Structure 1
């Protein structure tokens, strides 16, 4: 589609948005569901928002993000794919408790699966999605089979950036609040997104988003294979392969506390508790240069998922674990605290972190913190650059699903045709944020949200 035609269509979408909001009336409530189908479990986010209420959030004023998660994940139904859809029934029942009965037929449902589902094989994946399609199709909610898809890493990163900056009030004009960059560290990949005024050499890593009259030119990069779970595995592979020929077992693991041990690849490893060596092991996982083609980093960054879970959540700096919250810290802060952490024995580690959510995995904390530090260094952060580690903003969990809800709503608006939108439509009051995602699709022509690619991220770990 020529760029000029794309702009004309975007103008039409904006006109439809305004007309729909006028028809809907002030402060009207809307709902939408996003299923996050991870490798070991599925969660549903039930979003509720108001439109046309006036003020800075006139287009989209988030009221609630109700969440329920269950195990196992859809990929566990590889042997009996016809049962996959039925596993979603508790989540659908929960959603119907949150959405008024009269609004259910107009409430759209999207299911997005991460890499775990692709790993089951093409045939099993298709059979699982067919079962999901059947179950969601008869749920009473608004659903199409093409709304159950696989999620790509770049899309996940972009959705996460949208979520964070929407909640910070950094998307819409006036541009009083600068947009922040985001680092979403998952289990299998890490997503880095930030606004830049510099040209991005690879057009696939560049996106233009428009929110009202405010534009954001973004660098979007998903580093597949550089999530935390992958880092642990690669570090173990490296230690075993480097020592197998000239060292007797057990091998010494610098990232494990003294007194801890584990088996990997048929080899025994014991803890050596050496921060400097551990940091070198993690640093070697990154090719040089790791951030080739990456523009100058933004001034402000927010880190979430494992970035939060292995720093603020475990009380890395102050010994105070936090289930929710925000803590600003730099590479230097993380490195100093990591060095102290890695001096602890296995017994001391278990005692100090007994009250953390992942206490059973506390022997991993030394290596995990070292990986967070090594990642920041590989991305080009200066030692004293502050990064806000958080998992909630305005009481809303920082996950990509909110951004996905808005972007998919934008697709619904684009698909309505010239007939316009009725007041009863769930997208009658679609946000400018959602339209921005439509603008991304129409103007850049670099990615279609209906053709999502596989990704890997942390779910239920």
Structure 2
């Protein structure tokens, strides 16, 4: 009797063991003697209107270029961008202290000395460097001095070019969407068989468009070739300085002061004091600057809520008439045909989010976006305050922003009814903000290799395959033994 029981249990036991082995093979083996150790990196995104600090982390053993970096925390610096402290450079540095102190808490103390710290300044500082190089140098010097006092591995503060900003934003978006490399179920890294997405960023002082293209790039200044994870990418990119949201609004104001007594892009019932110095001090409005204007003068403007006049004012910001290439976006800038899907972030996202969530308007096509912008421009100040009281400081400018986004995308970048639905307006990918900052850190820490990607598995491929075959054979033998025993028992019962 005991022998019969053993004869039944043995193949069952072998079968269970084999199934357990197969399950274990599907899970990458890790060192479980201690939890994974993280490394950290800090990037300060010094934009034209404000500065944000991002703390990133990744598993230490994967720093060789295949680890996925995630956003650990972030902090918004109070006050304007560092370029707004041109007259008081030391205050630019002081403004960063609160967020830097938060970084001291967010990053484990034992990791402080090996945590890289970077600051990248964008279009606001590019503009300041154009108009006042000495002030720009003083601001950067003050910021460098402050960042050097912290116990992190400070690696410098610099001004990014428009091309850098565009390409790094594209790298960030595609990295987060795992379009370069992906972690498979068997514990290996592989390249997904899908294309990259284009990236569009609308900041305070500039806007960027970047996408992979197979078309000939007629202007070498707009082409960048990248080698990521063993694959080559040919990327078109262009940054339009003075076409960020804040600078666009200043150029609109300058146009209104020249030709209108009221602001057609402001809602009816809204009025504000406009200081001429604030309007004309920017290099973006230099062409509209009166030769003898009073820098201390101020005027009071009221809104007239006229979507047709607002559209004309915004259209005047673009030059669509001249193109010295086979095709252009605007301002005589070459642009190849749009290809693939796109992701739009920063002010693109906030503008569309306002139209959809606050105004409850559909924006799934170019026609709907135009209709939504017009409807927004027809709303009164009283109604807008009722809809979004928490956004009071920005409410008056949403009409201009929506009208600008429509014209930039449709007339500027040439999105139509077929290509517009391929744009995803997003603030984050997963839990990580989309922008140039992550791409900047990945590049400077060499976490995206140029050569062949590396593969990581719980076991090497040959051993994994042999074990898989052994466990399958054990299962088959066990099933045969069980079948034979069942058949034998049936025969004996019949006898």
- What's the TM-score once normalised by structure 1's chain length? 0.73
Q: 1:8-407 maps to which residues of 2 (within 5 A)?
A: 28-50=37-59, 52=61, 59-72=66-79, 73-75=81-83, 77-82=85-90, 84-117=92-125, 119=128, 121-144=132-155, 147-172=156-181, 174-243=191-260, 251-264=261-274, 265=276, 266=298, 268-288=300-320, 291=329, 292-312=333-353, 314-316=354-356, 319=359, 329-355=364-390, 358-377=391-410, 378-384=412-418, 385-386=420-421, 387-407=423-443
RCO higher in 1 or 2 (8 Å CA, sep ≥ 6)? 1
Q: 2:70–2:431: 8 Å Cα contact kept in structure 1?
A: no
Q: 1:408–1:434: 8 Å Cα contact kept in structure 2?
A: no
Residue 278 of structure 1, CA deviation: 2.0
Residue 351 of structure 1, CA deviation: 1.3
Q: Take 1:270 and 1:77, find their aligned partners in 2: how far apart are those partners?
A: 30
Q: Take 1:239 and 1:78, find their aligned partners in 2: how far apart are those partners?
A: 27
Residue 84 of structure 1, CA deviation: 4.8
| Structure 1: unaligned runs, 5 residues or longer | 1-24, 244-250, 322-326, 411-429, 437-461
The verdict on how the C-alpha distance between 1:295 and 1:99 changes in structure 2, with shifts beyond 3 A counting, is: same
Larger Rg: 1 or 2?
Answer: 2
| Structure 2: unaligned runs, 5 residues or longer | 1-33, 182-189, 277-297, 454-495
Aligned length: 374
Residue 127 of structure 1, CA deviation: 3.3
- What's the TM-score once normalised by structure 2's chain length? 0.68
The verdict on how the C-alpha distance between 1:65 and 1:399 changes in structure 2, with shifts beyond 3 A counting, is: farther
Q: Secondary structure at the match of 1:304?
A: strand
The verdict on how the C-alpha distance between 1:71 and 1:27 changes in structure 2, with shifts beyond 3 A counting, is: same
The verdict on how the C-alpha distance between 1:126 and 1:252 changes in structure 2, with shifts beyond 3 A counting, is: closer
Q: 2:54–2:71: 8 Å Cα contact kept in structure 1?
A: no
Residue 373 of structure 1, CA deviation: 0.4
C-alpha deviations, 1:2-36, integer Å up to 9, x for none? xxxxxxxxxxxxxxxxxxxxxxx996522111112
Higher mean alpha-carbon deviation, 183-192 vs 97-106, is at 97-106
Q: 1:50–1:63: 8 Å Cα contact kept in structure 2?
A: no
Residue 58 of structure 1, CA deviation: 7.2
C-alpha deviations, 1:187-234, integer Å up to 9, x for none? 211100001001111112111122213322100100111112222222
Q: 2:358–2:388: 8 Å Cα contact kept in structure 1?
A: no
C-alpha deviations, 1:256-308, integer Å up to 9, x for none? 22222345555554333232332222122111156141000123111111101
Q: Take 2:78 and 2:452, find their aligned partners in 1: how far apart are those partners?
A: 34
* The structure with more helix, counted as a fraction of residues: 2
CA RMSD of aligned residues (A): 3.0
C-alpha deviations, 1:87-110, integer Å up to 9, x for none? 433333221212222222111111
Q: 1:310–1:369: 8 Å Cα contact kept in structure 2?
A: yes
Q: Secondary structure at the match of 1:401?
A: helix
C-alpha deviations, 1:415-436, integer Å up to 9, x for none? xxxxxxxxxxxxxxx3338999
The verdict on how the C-alpha distance between 1:350 and 1:31 changes in structure 2, with shifts beyond 3 A counting, is: same
Q: Secondary structure at the match of 1:97?
A: helix
Higher mean alpha-carbon deviation, 183-192 vs 288-297, is at 288-297
